[in-house]
Structure 1
Amino acid sequence: MKNVLLIVTVLFFGAFTSAQNSFQNKTVKILPKSKLKITGDTNIKSFDCVFDMKFLQKEYPIEYITDEPNHVRFKNAVLGLNTKGFDCGNGPINSDFHKLIQSEKYPHILIELLEIRRQQEGSANAVVNITIAETRKEHTFPVEFSKGEVSNISGILMLDIKDFKLEPPKKLFGMIVVKDDIEINFNLKVKK
């Protein structure tokens, strides 16, 4: 009986260990044709802050494991956005945006991909950690994708700036106020 228990224990822990070590490594390249922008709104008009892809690292090593046919988990899949890469169209809006995200103190916005759960062909739910000004929040949102030599991954991630302890700037003695909701709109061209 002790031998049977010992064999079962060894097999169980052996299977657990091999499952943990089954993450695969891959390097992905985000192509310059990719697009990313942050859109916000004030009580007067909206604004777009477009990210210049030249500020993006070209290749990203990632680790992933497929738990189930439609579920992929990731390790170390972090996209770092240098805040200097955002251009909102004019000087005062750029200045306000960089004050909002505290880019002097925190020069990067981090987007860490945790998992993808495919819903149907060409669409999935992505789970990410977003870190802005040292505050990290987990978000789940829908993405669309196409497979091929170059994959296209697109989606819109809605954020509340208050979740990141950010204080929206007020202009003209509080008459112009930035609203709390912003969106990150992306269309990434990825080569494996």
Structure 2
Amino acid sequence: MKNVLLIVTVLFFSAFTNAQNNFQNRTIKILLNSKLTITGDTNIKSFDCVFDMGYLQKENHIKFITDDPGHIRFKNAILSLNTKGFDCGSAPINRDFHKLIQSDKHPQILIELLEVRLQKAGSANAVVNITIAGTRKEHTFPVEFTAGAVSNIKGILMLDIKDFKLEPPKKLFGMIVVKDEIEIDFDLSIQK
């Protein structure tokens, strides 16, 4: 009985180790011509907070595996956005934005790519974990892409700020209110 248990244990760990070794390593670089904007809205007008791509890491080392045709899983595919890199166009809006996302306590917004399911040529559904102000939520959303030596990925991710336990700021005694829904609009150029 002990021998059978030992064999099963060895086989289990061997299979687990082999599955881990099937992940391929890749170094990628998000190019400076990429764009990422967080757009919000108030009951008066909308605002755009544009991210300065100069704040990104020069290179990212990711791992991926293709489980079946059209399904790719990722490890360590994390886009770390330093909150100092966002400019909303004016000092008061910048202050409100940084207060909203609690950038003093949480100076990074993390977007972790978990998996991609190809739909048709040039489109897919991406599954990501988004971490804002220390709260992480999983989201699935459509993306468009072109592949090559420099690939392009575009998409709009809609978020409810209350999912991240954020309270929208109110101005002028509550007459100006930020709406709960924001969008992250990205157009990334990625070099392999």
TM-score, structure 2 as length reference:
0.93
Matched, 1:43 2:29: no
The residue matched to 1:99 in structure 2 has which SS? Answer: helix
- Corresponding position of 1:89: 89
- The alpha carbon displacement at 1:143 in A equals 0.4
Where does residue 33 of structure 2 map in the other structure?
Answer: 33
The answer for the alignment partner of 2:182 in structure 1 is 182
Task: Measure the CA separation in 2 of the matches of 1:169 and 1:15.
Answer: 51
Alignment deviations for residues 67-123 of structure 1 (CA, whole Å, 9 cap, x no partner): 011000011111100000000001111110000001111100000010001001100
* Structure-to-structure mapping, 1:84-123, within 5 angstroms: 84-123=84-123
Please state whether the residue corresponding to 1:118 is helix, strand or coil.
strand
Instruction: Show the counterpart of 1:3.
Output: none
Q: Secondary structure at the match of 1:102?
A: coil
Q: Which runs of 5+ in 2 are unaligned?
A: 1-5
* CA positional deviation for 1:17: 3.4
| SS of 1:89 mapped into structure 2 | coil
Instruction: Name the counterpart of 2:3.
Output: none
RMSD over aligned CA atoms reads 1.9
User: Aligned partners of 2:69, 2:173: CA distance in 1, in Å?
Assistant: 55
2:144 maps to 1:165:
no
Give 1:48 shift.
0.2
Aligned residue pairs: how many? 190
**DSSP-derived class of the 2:32 partner:** coil
CA distance in 1 between partners of 2:76 and 2:7 (Å): 35
Amino acid at match of 1:34: S
Partner of 1:64: helix, strand, or coil? strand
Q: C-alpha displacement at 1:11, in angstroms? A: 6.6
Residue 125 (structure 2) aligns with: 125
1:6-53 C-alpha deviation (Å, 9 max, x unpaired) = 999977764453223211111000000000000000000000000001
